[in-house]
Amino acid sequence: MQRCPSGRVRRAPHPAQRGLGEPGSDFGMRHARLAAFVASAFIVAAGALSISGCGAAPRPCLSPSACPDGSECLAHRCLPLGAEPVAPDSRRVVLDPVAMAVVRAGARQQNALPPTVTFGGPASQDEQLLVAFPDSWGPVEIDTAFLLLEPALDAEPSASDVDIGVTIAAGEWRSGTAGDMPTSHGPKANGLGRTRPPAALRIDVTALVREMARQSGNAHGFLVRAARPGPRGAVYSTGIDGPAPRLDVYFRPRTKVR
Protein backbone atom coordinates (compact mmCIF):
# COMPACT_ATOMS: atom_id res chain seq x y z
CA MET A 1 0.00 0.00 0.00
CA GLN A 2 1.48 3.30 -1.09
CA ARG A 3 1.52 5.94 1.61
CA CYS A 4 1.83 9.62 0.85
CA PRO A 5 4.14 11.88 2.87
CA SER A 6 2.81 12.45 6.37
CA GLY A 7 1.87 16.08 5.99
CA ARG A 8 5.05 17.44 7.53
CA VAL A 9 5.25 21.14 8.24
CA ARG A 10 8.68 22.60 7.65
CA ARG A 11 10.18 25.91 8.62
CA ALA A 12 11.58 27.63 5.56
CA PRO A 13 13.71 30.75 5.23
CA HIS A 14 11.91 33.88 4.13
CA PRO A 15 13.39 35.37 0.95
CA ALA A 16 15.55 38.33 1.91
CA GLN A 17 15.74 39.62 -1.65
CA ARG A 18 13.32 40.11 -4.53
CA GLY A 19 12.56 36.90 -6.39
CA LEU A 20 12.02 33.44 -4.91
CA GLY A 21 14.22 30.36 -5.20
CA GLU A 22 13.03 27.63 -7.53
CA PRO A 23 11.63 25.46 -6.00
CA GLY A 24 -0.98 6.16 -0.11
CA SER A 25 -3.18 4.95 1.87
CA ASP A 26 -6.86 5.95 1.92
CA PHE A 27 -7.12 8.90 4.24
CA GLY A 28 -10.88 9.16 3.61
CA MET A 29 -10.01 12.70 2.58
CA ARG A 30 -10.28 13.83 6.20
CA HIS A 31 -7.12 15.88 6.04
CA ALA A 32 -4.79 15.77 9.01
CA ARG A 33 -5.54 18.52 11.47
CA LEU A 34 -2.20 19.99 12.45
CA ALA A 35 -3.33 23.21 14.11
CA ALA A 36 -1.59 22.37 17.37
CA PHE A 37 1.67 21.61 15.59
CA VAL A 38 1.53 24.79 13.54
CA ALA A 39 0.70 26.75 16.66
CA SER A 40 3.75 25.33 18.43
CA ALA A 41 6.08 25.83 15.47
CA PHE A 42 5.01 29.36 14.69
CA ILE A 43 3.64 30.57 18.07
CA VAL A 44 0.14 30.90 16.69
CA ALA A 45 -2.79 29.93 18.91
CA ALA A 46 -5.24 27.41 17.44
CA GLY A 47 -8.45 28.87 16.10
CA ALA A 48 -10.31 29.76 12.94
CA LEU A 49 -8.43 30.93 9.87
CA SER A 50 -8.77 34.60 9.03
CA ILE A 51 -9.04 35.40 5.36
CA SER A 52 -7.45 38.51 3.89
CA GLY A 53 -8.96 40.43 1.00
CA CYS A 54 -9.16 38.91 -2.47
CA GLY A 55 -8.00 40.45 -5.72
CA ALA A 56 -7.54 39.46 -9.31
CA ALA A 57 -5.02 36.65 -9.69
CA PRO A 58 -1.74 37.80 -11.31
CA ARG A 59 -1.02 36.60 -14.83
CA PRO A 60 1.34 33.58 -14.89
CA CYS A 61 4.64 34.08 -16.71
CA LEU A 62 7.96 32.45 -17.48
CA SER A 63 9.85 35.53 -18.65
CA PRO A 64 9.51 39.36 -18.57
CA SER A 65 8.40 39.37 -22.20
CA ALA A 66 5.13 37.69 -21.18
CA CYS A 67 4.14 40.62 -18.93
CA PRO A 68 2.51 43.93 -19.97
CA ASP A 69 4.27 47.29 -19.79
CA GLY A 70 4.90 48.48 -16.25
CA SER A 71 5.22 44.98 -14.82
CA GLU A 72 7.82 42.24 -14.46
CA CYS A 73 7.91 38.46 -13.97
CA LEU A 74 8.46 37.59 -10.29
CA ALA A 75 7.90 34.09 -8.87
CA HIS A 76 6.23 33.13 -12.18
CA ARG A 77 3.69 35.98 -11.87
CA CYS A 78 3.39 39.35 -13.59
CA LEU A 79 3.66 41.97 -10.85
CA PRO A 80 4.07 45.78 -10.97
CA LEU A 81 7.64 47.01 -11.40
CA GLY A 82 9.35 47.26 -8.02
CA ALA A 83 6.84 45.01 -6.25
CA GLU A 84 7.87 42.36 -3.75
CA PRO A 85 6.95 38.74 -4.60
CA VAL A 86 5.55 38.34 -1.05
CA ALA A 87 4.86 40.70 1.85
CA PRO A 88 8.16 41.55 3.62
CA ASP A 89 6.62 41.06 7.07
CA SER A 90 5.11 37.64 6.33
CA ARG A 91 6.25 34.28 7.71
CA ARG A 92 6.75 31.18 5.61
CA VAL A 93 5.78 27.52 5.98
CA VAL A 94 6.25 24.70 3.45
CA LEU A 95 3.71 21.85 3.61
CA ASP A 96 4.04 18.28 2.32
CA PRO A 97 0.95 16.45 0.99
CA VAL A 98 -1.21 14.22 3.17
CA ALA A 99 -2.98 12.54 0.22
CA MET A 100 -2.34 12.29 -3.51
CA ALA A 101 -3.75 10.50 -6.57
CA VAL A 102 -3.05 10.42 -10.30
CA VAL A 103 -6.17 10.24 -12.48
CA ARG A 104 -5.92 8.30 -15.74
CA ALA A 105 -8.93 7.86 -18.03
CA GLY A 106 -10.20 4.29 -17.77
CA ALA A 107 -7.76 3.28 -15.02
CA ARG A 108 -8.87 1.00 -12.18
CA GLN A 109 -8.77 2.36 -8.65
CA GLN A 110 -5.67 1.09 -6.88
CA ASN A 111 -3.53 2.10 -3.93
CA ALA A 112 -0.25 2.35 -5.86
CA LEU A 113 0.76 5.93 -6.67
CA PRO A 114 2.57 6.35 -10.02
CA PRO A 115 6.00 8.03 -9.82
CA THR A 116 5.01 10.73 -12.33
CA VAL A 117 2.02 12.66 -13.65
CA THR A 118 1.77 13.95 -17.23
CA PHE A 119 -0.19 17.13 -17.95
CA GLY A 120 -1.25 17.85 -21.51
CA GLY A 121 0.07 14.76 -23.27
CA PRO A 122 -1.85 12.85 -25.97
CA ALA A 123 -5.41 12.02 -24.93
CA SER A 124 -4.37 8.49 -23.99
CA GLN A 125 -1.59 9.80 -21.73
CA ASP A 126 -3.06 13.07 -20.42
CA GLU A 127 -3.42 12.78 -16.64
CA GLN A 128 -4.69 14.83 -13.71
CA LEU A 129 -3.33 15.20 -10.18
CA LEU A 130 -5.30 15.29 -6.94
CA VAL A 131 -3.28 16.52 -3.97
CA ALA A 132 -4.30 17.54 -0.45
CA PHE A 133 -2.28 19.33 2.23
CA PRO A 134 -2.78 20.00 5.95
CA ASP A 135 -5.62 22.51 6.12
CA SER A 136 -5.87 23.81 9.69
CA TRP A 137 -3.88 26.92 10.44
CA GLY A 138 -4.92 29.00 13.42
CA PRO A 139 -5.72 32.73 13.50
CA VAL A 140 -3.52 33.86 10.63
CA GLU A 141 -3.97 35.85 7.43
CA ILE A 142 -2.84 34.14 4.25
CA ASP A 143 -0.75 36.55 2.21
CA THR A 144 0.40 34.33 -0.66
CA ALA A 145 0.40 30.60 -1.43
CA PHE A 146 2.19 28.69 -4.19
CA LEU A 147 1.71 25.12 -5.38
CA LEU A 148 5.13 23.74 -6.37
CA LEU A 149 5.82 20.70 -8.57
CA GLU A 150 9.21 19.48 -9.70
CA PRO A 151 9.85 17.91 -13.13
CA ALA A 152 10.31 14.16 -13.24
CA LEU A 153 13.94 13.04 -13.18
CA ASP A 154 13.61 11.54 -16.67
CA ALA A 155 11.48 14.34 -18.14
CA GLU A 156 12.59 15.24 -21.67
CA PRO A 157 12.34 18.61 -23.44
CA SER A 158 9.34 18.94 -25.74
CA ALA A 159 8.18 21.37 -28.40
CA SER A 160 5.97 23.66 -26.35
CA ASP A 161 5.01 24.72 -22.85
CA VAL A 162 1.75 23.51 -21.29
CA ASP A 163 -1.09 25.61 -19.86
CA ILE A 164 -2.02 24.11 -16.48
CA GLY A 165 -5.00 24.95 -14.28
CA VAL A 166 -5.76 24.29 -10.61
CA THR A 167 -9.21 24.11 -9.04
CA ILE A 168 -10.66 22.86 -5.74
CA ALA A 169 -11.78 19.22 -5.65
CA ALA A 170 -15.40 19.14 -4.52
CA GLY A 171 -15.74 15.40 -3.86
CA GLU A 172 -13.92 12.77 -1.85
CA TRP A 173 -11.25 10.58 -3.42
CA ARG A 174 -8.69 7.95 -2.47
CA SER A 175 -4.92 8.12 -2.67
CA GLY A 176 -3.21 6.10 -5.42
CA THR A 177 -4.44 5.76 -9.02
CA ALA A 178 -7.98 6.60 -10.11
CA GLY A 179 -9.99 6.40 -13.32
CA ASP A 180 -12.38 9.27 -12.59
CA MET A 181 -11.80 12.69 -11.10
CA PRO A 182 -14.23 14.47 -8.77
CA THR A 183 -16.05 17.64 -9.72
CA SER A 184 -14.43 20.95 -8.85
CA HIS A 185 -15.57 24.40 -7.78
CA GLY A 186 -14.40 27.82 -6.66
CA PRO A 187 -11.71 30.05 -8.15
CA LYS A 188 -9.19 28.79 -10.67
CA ALA A 189 -5.43 29.29 -10.73
CA ASN A 190 -3.29 29.06 -13.85
CA GLY A 191 0.34 28.30 -14.54
CA LEU A 192 2.71 27.39 -17.36
CA GLY A 193 4.47 24.03 -17.41
CA ARG A 194 7.91 24.70 -18.86
CA THR A 195 9.26 21.92 -21.05
CA ARG A 196 12.10 23.64 -22.94
CA PRO A 197 13.92 22.45 -20.82
CA PRO A 198 11.74 20.93 -18.06
CA ALA A 199 11.60 23.21 -15.01
CA ALA A 200 9.83 23.53 -11.69
CA LEU A 201 6.17 24.53 -11.86
CA ARG A 202 5.03 27.31 -9.52
CA ILE A 203 1.34 28.29 -9.49
CA ASP A 204 -0.16 31.07 -7.36
CA VAL A 205 -3.03 29.36 -5.50
CA THR A 206 -3.66 32.12 -2.94
CA ALA A 207 -7.33 32.56 -3.88
CA LEU A 208 -7.90 28.79 -3.69
CA VAL A 209 -6.35 28.43 -0.25
CA ARG A 210 -8.51 31.27 1.05
CA GLU A 211 -11.62 29.71 -0.49
CA MET A 212 -10.77 26.29 0.96
CA ALA A 213 -10.53 27.86 4.41
CA ARG A 214 -13.96 29.44 3.96
CA GLN A 215 -15.60 26.16 2.87
CA SER A 216 -13.44 23.48 4.44
CA GLY A 217 -16.30 20.97 4.39
CA ASN A 218 -16.58 21.22 0.59
CA ALA A 219 -12.85 21.30 -0.14
CA HIS A 220 -10.92 18.09 -0.76
CA GLY A 221 -7.58 19.34 -1.98
CA PHE A 222 -6.40 20.60 -5.37
CA LEU A 223 -7.28 19.23 -8.80
CA VAL A 224 -4.44 19.97 -11.24
CA ARG A 225 -4.85 19.40 -14.99
CA ALA A 226 -3.79 20.72 -18.38
CA ALA A 227 -6.06 23.02 -20.33
CA ARG A 228 -5.92 20.69 -23.35
CA PRO A 229 -4.14 17.56 -24.64
CA GLY A 230 -0.94 18.00 -26.66
CA PRO A 231 1.75 16.02 -28.46
CA ARG A 232 4.06 15.47 -25.47
CA GLY A 233 2.92 17.16 -22.28
CA ALA A 234 4.83 18.19 -19.14
CA VAL A 235 5.90 15.42 -16.74
CA TYR A 236 6.22 16.02 -12.98
CA SER A 237 7.28 13.96 -9.99
CA THR A 238 4.75 12.68 -7.44
CA GLY A 239 7.43 12.00 -4.83
CA ILE A 240 8.16 8.33 -5.49
CA ASP A 241 11.43 8.82 -7.38
CA GLY A 242 11.86 12.56 -6.86
CA PRO A 243 10.52 15.55 -4.89
CA ALA A 244 6.84 15.49 -3.95
CA PRO A 245 4.51 18.45 -4.59
CA ARG A 246 4.67 21.18 -1.94
CA LEU A 247 2.47 24.04 -0.76
CA ASP A 248 4.55 27.14 -0.03
CA VAL A 249 2.55 29.56 2.15
CA TYR A 250 3.35 33.07 3.38
CA PHE A 251 1.20 34.30 6.25
CA ARG A 252 0.95 36.83 9.06
CA PRO A 253 -0.37 36.19 12.59
CA ARG A 254 -3.68 37.87 13.12
CA THR A 255 -3.43 40.91 15.39
CA LYS A 256 -5.57 40.57 18.50
CA VAL A 257 -8.20 43.27 18.98
CA ARG A 258 -8.09 44.63 22.52
Mean pLDDT of 182-206: 91
Band of the pLDDT at 178, cuts 50, 70, 90? very high
The neighbouring-strand residues paired with 123 are none
Average pLDDT taken over every residue of the chain: 77
Mean pLDDT of 208-216: 86
Q: Which of 52-56, 141-145, 236-240 bottoms out in mean pLDDT, i.e. has the lowest?
A: 52-56
Residues 6+ apart with CB under 8 A from 144: 85, 86, 87, 90, 204, 206, 249, 250
Band of the pLDDT at 52, cuts 50, 70, 90? very low
Q: Are 138 and 63 in contact (CB under 8 A)?
A: no
Residues 6+ apart with CB under 8 A from 70: 80, 81
- The Cα 146–Cα 59 span in angstroms is 14
pTM of the model: 0.73
- The Cα 148–Cα 235 span in angstroms is 13
| Domain ranges, ordered by start, for the chain | 24-47+89-253
Neighbours of 253 (CB within 10 A): 16
- The Cα 147–Cα 154 span in angstroms is 21
In the chain the beta strands, taken as DSSP E runs, fall at 9-11, 71-74, 77-80, 91-95, 99-104, 116-119, 127-132, 140-149, 162-169, 176-178, 184-193, 201-204, 222-226, 234-237, 246-253
Inform me whether the pLDDT recorded for 98 exceeds 50.
Answer: yes
Inform me whether the pLDDT recorded for 53 exceeds 50.
Answer: no
Length in residues, the chain: 258
Mean pLDDT of 13-38: 40
Band of the pLDDT at 137, cuts 50, 70, 90? low
